[in-house]
Chains A and B, each alone.
Chain A
Amino acid sequence: MTRATTIARRELTSFFFSPIAYVAMAVFLVACGFLFCDDFSPGQIAGMRNLFDWMVWLLVTIVPLLSMGLLAQEWSTGTIESLMTAPLNEADVVMGKFLGSFGFFLVMLSPTLLYVAVLALYARPRIDFGPIVSGYLGIILVGGLFTSIGLLCSSLTRSQIVAAVATAAVLFTITIAPWWASGKILSNAWLNVVNQAVFKRYTDFSRGVIDSGHVVFFVLSTAVFLFLTTKVLESRRWK
């Protein structure tokens, strides 16, 4: 087992000892349940588009709760010192932390597969799996990006509260704010910027369109935030 997966495994396990993770998971799943009720009514298309669209909004508040402790806690308790004096790289730590919390995100998402089963059972003549698969792909990519942003914010402070608020602010700025702004009268130049934002790209996935450009966008921007986090960890050496 590599060092990163060792860290990831520890991180994932530690989520199950944290009350905040259970609270976040419960809020997320209850909210998803309500949203699914809208999708799951007679005469509707047997899909989950409504749920997927709202899920992104939920994640803007849920992901900060999951990611806030990732590194901020290591700084504040000093465990980063025993971690970084073991023979491993900053990149191992960042990758491990990312995979651990991304893993928990997937665990949190997994009960929603039940809705797919329910839809498959009741849909007539039959369920269209295409948009559901692309919707899951989209939400997983968004989850990865959000987690990497949360990890970066968590690496910048010793306070979990500060990390959570900062993450939520950034996620709001790149997701909800552009969507809201696009409804206003904007110059074309600004609309171009707004169209680059997360929500715009994400809605294509929930519509059932898998645009490779969007996939590359999410994967690359996730990688950029992970890279920046590595640099933050290394920065203690520059001081």
Chain B
Amino acid sequence: MIAVRELTKVYGQTLAVDHISFEVSQGQIVGFLGPNGAGKSTTLKMLTCYLPPTSGGATVNGFDIFHQSMQVRQNLGYLPENVPLYTEMKVVEYLEFRGRLRQMERTQLRQRIGHVVDRCWLNGVERKTIGHLSKGYRQRVGLADALLHNPAVLILDEPTVGLDPTQIREMRKLIKDLGGRHTVILSTHILPEVEATCDRAIVIAGGRIVAQGSPDELRASRRMTARVLVECRGPRQEISSVLSRVSGVQKVELLGGEATSAKPGENGYITAALRAKEGYDIREEVARTLVQHGWPLREIRLEHASLEEFFVQVTADQAMARSAVTLS
């Protein structure tokens, strides 16, 4: 549905997007994830034909963004960052204007307006002036405009910025509903958003794709597998050495606990973080071992590495790589 090859954008001296390539298949919701200034918006602006690429190219719905820009734009709905709207117009007037720009037929336009007003929960404000609406409603008007011509591809630039928690949840639900029928690319710097709405995430930093895959795959790719946290009472060193001998355990790390000098009988619990070898579930074995040694076990749980950690790690790596380049 969307194929991007070696897409590059240079603004003057700045390399904003650096040879990125990816593909999005039909009906997928893809999250474009990255810190501010990573090149997300620039990439989306190129895909929507607002800016031409410096080099490389892309096809949207089979049409080339450079040579078949009109066809691309006909098949695309775009919600720009900050949702620019004509504030003096009424909601319905605005949607009618946008529909006429797209040369939609009158009856079809009326029917589609009814549909998107329902879909984006705009009932009751259709006759209101856009300038008098709250940020959340304006965002919905922008989305209604993007959906108006029932495009195959939807491109949403930071669709939840500036919304309150309830509105964010509604917006995410709406976007999730849109998947399947529409191919959606959304950009965000909020990680839970990707986990909540997207089938796939493309992590972009410094104009480059640093990772892509489903949220689960991304964690795996960084060997950020889950770890097991054990809270028990007993001698620190002994616990550490015993647990590291349990089959499947790769590494044991003592995180400290309520008591740092954990001599037997001092009633102090310590927490150990165990990393398992790939494919092992070590919980049962660990519990059994602890009980065998007579060390009281208070808690044992599996902790998934968050995408957040992954994100921080990736962007830190990028910064490090950049400073290494500057030094050399």
Interface residues of A (CB under 8 A from B): 1, 3, 6-7, 10, 14, 17-18, 77-88, 236-237, 239
Binary flags per residue of B62-87, CB closer than 8 Å to A gives 1, else 0: 00000000100110101010101111
Separation of A68 and B52 alpha carbons in the complex (Å) = 28
A82 in complex: contacting residue of B49, B70, B80, B88, CB < 8 Å: B80
Q: Report B-chain residues with C-beta under 8 Å of the C-beta of A77.
A: 84, 87
Q: How large is the interface on B (under 10, 10 to 19, 20 to 34, 35 or more residues)?
A: 20 to 34
A12 to chain B, nearest CB (A): 12
Separation of A83 and B98 alpha carbons in the complex (Å) = 9
Inter-subunit contact B103/A10 (CB<8 Å): no
| Contact A85 to B73, CB < 8 A, known contacts A1-B100, A3-B103, A7-B101 | yes
Q: Report B-chain residues with C-beta under 8 Å of the C-beta of A84.
A: 49-50
Inter-subunit contact B97/A10 (CB<8 Å): yes
Binary flags per residue of B15-49, CB closer than 8 Å to A gives 1, else 0: 00000000000000000000000000000010011
B254 to chain A, nearest CB (A): 54
Separation of A236 and B11 alpha carbons in the complex (Å) = 11
- B145 within 8 Å of A (CB atoms): yes
Residue of B nearest to A74 (CB): B84
Inter-subunit contact B84/A81 (CB<8 Å): yes
Q: Which of B80, B86, B98 has the most CB of A within 10 A?
A: B86
Inter-subunit contact A78/B80 (CB<8 Å): yes
| Contact A86 to B49, CB < 8 A, known contacts A79-B86, A81-B80, A239-B11 | no
Residue of A nearest to B79 (CB): A82
A54 to chain B, nearest CB (A): 33
Q: Report A-chain residues with C-beta under 8 Å of the C-beta of B101.
A: 3, 6-7, 83, 86-88
Q: In chain B between 102 and 120, which residues have their CB closer than 8 angstroms to a CB of chain A?
A: 102-103
- B51 within 8 Å of A (CB atoms): yes
Q: In chain B between 279 and 294, which residues have their CB closer than 8 angstroms to a CB of chain A?
A: none
Inter-subunit contact A237/B80 (CB<8 Å): no
Separation of A18 and B87 alpha carbons in the complex (Å) = 11
Q: Report A-chain residues with C-beta under 8 Å of the C-beta of B74.
A: 87
Q: Report B-chain residues with C-beta under 8 Å of the C-beta of A86.
A: 73, 98, 101-102
Residue of B nearest to A87 (CB): B73
Q: Report B-chain residues with C-beta under 8 Å of the C-beta of A80.
A: 84
Separation of A81 and B80 alpha carbons in the complex (Å) = 7
Inter-subunit contact A85/B48 (CB<8 Å): yes
Q: Report A-chain residues with C-beta under 8 Å of the C-beta of B49.
A: 84-85
Contacts A/B (CB < 8 Å), 29 sampled: A1-B100, A3-B100, A3-B103, A6-B100, A7-B101, A10-B86, A14-B86, A14-B88, A14-B89, A18-B88, A78-B80, A78-B82, A78-B84, A79-B84, A79-B86, A80-B84, A81-B50, A81-B80, A81-B84, A82-B84, A82-B85, A84-B49, A85-B49, A86-B73, A86-B98, A87-B73, A87-B101, A87-B102, A239-B11
